[in-house]
């Protein structure tokens, strides 16, 4: 049920009386005050009966009653009062948690025996820890209930000797389990790069919903892509090569899968997100660097422009760029940018006025940028973004090629056969058609060829 249910009070009566659980879905930041007596457990005792008053109406109350509430808000702002009345459980996937989940999923496919051994060891550690705790409780119980001299109590001494022997055995097992766990974790770490890349890609996909909610993708969809990357990447006897093959296959598969569901105007945005987040995960960039690229001089207030031929927006961007400290010890890379432009005024003006400045040598910085293999391409992108904003998308394509590869910027066509392979009876194909586009002929031709004709097609109308 939901809070908007006009019969919510009456719907609560039977569960309250019989101790049944109740689930209220899609709550917002606030909860109906009618539920406060339940949340605050304002139970009224009358003899053996227990009552609770809701909206001035007393109802029988069973202590087995539980109230669960869920919200679809990604970051709800619950009041401190509500948080104090309830137990809040956050089921949101975190990058670190997802990375661990993907690592276990990968190991279970690549080295199943290793993952099974680890799970078995974890169970043994849990059981042995419980056994050790039981021994301690048993010893304390014997000491508390023993009468007379402890040294003359033969039964207690026998129990102490037994517990001492058993505890020693359990501790040895725990020590052995810890050593084996460390050994297994070292082997698992060889595959962590794949899990880390998978977690980065998932959050790229999730954040595309901020561009358009239509791009919403479930975790299960992504896990299917992750499994595809493992199953269809090139095999190798060397773990390092195998990890590289899976990473490349997974990254490209995610790109192609998401790319075909994006509007043309958003495709470069997604690829830029992939490239920057991968560099952030590798420690070559940080979030402040990406913030500079996105905002540039939008937050700068400086009206003392010293170059008459430069637009005010370019001047503000220049000031922001010259004050920014890049990650990975690159420091204030463009600290002297203003001075260099002053000394070579005409050369810089000519570069800015170029038809394709992203392809022209950069005055004073060309060699320095090319020498930096880590983030040289990103620095070049930021400079183009600052002084020639109209060429940012083209410079972004060059940046994507440098980080991800040429295949990410080349035109792609998704064949009917490839799409069909990914469908199931419960996973239909949805086409978003532009004016004049009609895939019916291609669908029917493919269906006839594979003896799947006729096919079911449903037109959902014009948006």
Quick: pLDDT tens for 39-52: 888 888 888 888 88
Neighbouring CB atoms inside 10 A of 152's CB total: 9
| pLDDT exceeds cutoff 80 at 175 | no
The residue with greater pLDDT, 208 or 7, is 208
| pLDDT exceeds cutoff 70 at 452 | no
pLDDT of residue 36: 87
Enter the CATH code of domain 8-85: 3.40.50.300
Segment 215-219 shows an average pLDDT of 88
- At residue 6 the predicted structure's pLDDT band, cuts being 50, 70 and 90, is confident
pLDDT of residue 453: 64
- DSSP lists the bridge partners of residue 60 as 51
pLDDT of residue 156: 66
Rounded CA separation 268/280 (Å): 18
Most confident stretch, 25-34, 46-55, 229-238: 229-238
The residue with greater pLDDT, 149 or 401, is 401
- DSSP lists the bridge partners of residue 53 as 58
Segment 295-299 shows an average pLDDT of 88
| pLDDT exceeds cutoff 70 at 80 | yes
Pick the closest to residue 297 from 308, 313, 273, 275 (CA basis).
Answer: 313
Segment 248-266 shows an average pLDDT of 92
The residue with greater pLDDT, 222 or 9, is 222
Segment 384-412 shows an average pLDDT of 92
Q: Say if residue 240 is exposed, middle or buried (CB neighbours under 10 Å; 0-12, 13-18, 19+).
A: exposed
Contact 113, 68 (CB under 8 A): no
Helix segments in 236-344, DSSP class H: 239-259, 264-281, 287-295, 312-323, 337-343
Segment 245-273 shows an average pLDDT of 92
- Min mean pLDDT across 78-82, 204-208, 294-298 is at 78-82
- At residue 148 the predicted structure's pLDDT band, cuts being 50, 70 and 90, is low
Segment 333-351 shows an average pLDDT of 91
Q: What angle do CA 77, 81, 86 make, to 5 degrees?
A: 85
| pLDDT exceeds cutoff 80 at 30 | yes
In the chain, domain spans: 8-85, 94-262, 283-412, 424-463
The residue with greater pLDDT, 413 or 144, is 413
| pLDDT exceeds cutoff 70 at 462 | no
Q: What angle do CA 299, 302, 305 make, to 5 degrees?
A: 130
Average pLDDT, the chain: 84
pLDDT of residue 253: 93
- Min mean pLDDT across 166-170, 200-204, 222-226, 323-327 is at 166-170
The residue with greater pLDDT, 121 or 413, is 413
- At residue 217 the predicted structure's pLDDT band, cuts being 50, 70 and 90, is confident
């Amino acid at each position: 049920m939901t809070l908007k249910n006009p019969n919510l009070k009456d719907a609560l009566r039977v569960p309250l009386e019989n101790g049944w659980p109740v689930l209220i879905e899609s709550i917002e930041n606030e909860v109906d005050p009618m539920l406060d007596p339940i949340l605050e457990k304002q139970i009224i005792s009358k003899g053996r009966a227990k009552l609770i008053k809701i909206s001035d109406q007393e109802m029988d109350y069973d202590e087995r009653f539980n109230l669960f509430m869920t919200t679809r808000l990604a970051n709800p702002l619950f009041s401190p009062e509500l948080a104090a009345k309830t137990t809040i459980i956050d089921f949101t996937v975190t990058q670190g948690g997802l990375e661990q989940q993907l690592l276990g999923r990968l190991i279970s496919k690549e080295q199943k025996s290793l993952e099974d051994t680890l799970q078995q060891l974890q169970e043994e550690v849990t059981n042995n820890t419980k056994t050790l705790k039981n021994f301690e409780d048993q010893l304390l119980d014997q000491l508390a209930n023993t009468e007379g001299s402890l040294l003359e109590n033969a039964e207690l001494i026998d129990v102490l000797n037994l517990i001492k022997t058993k505890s020693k055995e359990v501790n040895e097992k725990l020590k052995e389990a810890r050593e084996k766990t460390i050994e297994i974790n070292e082997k698992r770490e060889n595959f962590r790069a794949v899990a880390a890349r998978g977690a980065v890609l998932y959050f790229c996909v999730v954040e595309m919903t901020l561009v358009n909610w239509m791009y919403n993708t479930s975790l299960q969809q992504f896990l299917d892509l992750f499994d595809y990357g493992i199953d269809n990447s090139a095999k190798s006897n060397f773990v390092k090569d195998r990890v590289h093959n899976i990473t490349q296959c997974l990254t490209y598969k995610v790109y192609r899968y998401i790319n075909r569901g994006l509007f043309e105007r958003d495709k470069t945005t997604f690829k830029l997100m992939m490239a920057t987040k991968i560099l952030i995960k590798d420690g070559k960039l940080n979030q402040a660097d990406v913030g500079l690229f996105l905002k540039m001089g939008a937050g700068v207030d400086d009206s003392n422009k010293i170059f008459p031929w430069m637009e005010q927006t370019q001047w503000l961007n220049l000031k922001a760029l010259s004050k920014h400290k890049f990650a990975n010890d690159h420091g204030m890379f463009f600290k002297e940018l203003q001075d260099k432009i002053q000394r070579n005024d005409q050369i810089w003006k000519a570069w800015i006025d170029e038809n394709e400045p992203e392809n022209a040598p950069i005055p004073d910085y060309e060699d320095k940028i090319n020498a930096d293999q880590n983030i040289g391409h990103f620095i070049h992108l930021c400079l183009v973004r600052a002084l020639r904003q109209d060429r940012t998308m083209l410079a972004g394509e060059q940046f994507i090629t440098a980080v991800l590869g040429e295949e990410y910027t080349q035109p792609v066509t998704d064949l009917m056969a490839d799409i069909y392979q990914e469908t199931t009876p419960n996973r239909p194909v949805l086409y978003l058609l532009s004016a004049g586009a009609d895939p019916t002929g291609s669908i029917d031709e493919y269906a006839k060829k594979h003896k799947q004709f006729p096919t079911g097609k449903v037109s959902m109308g014009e948006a």
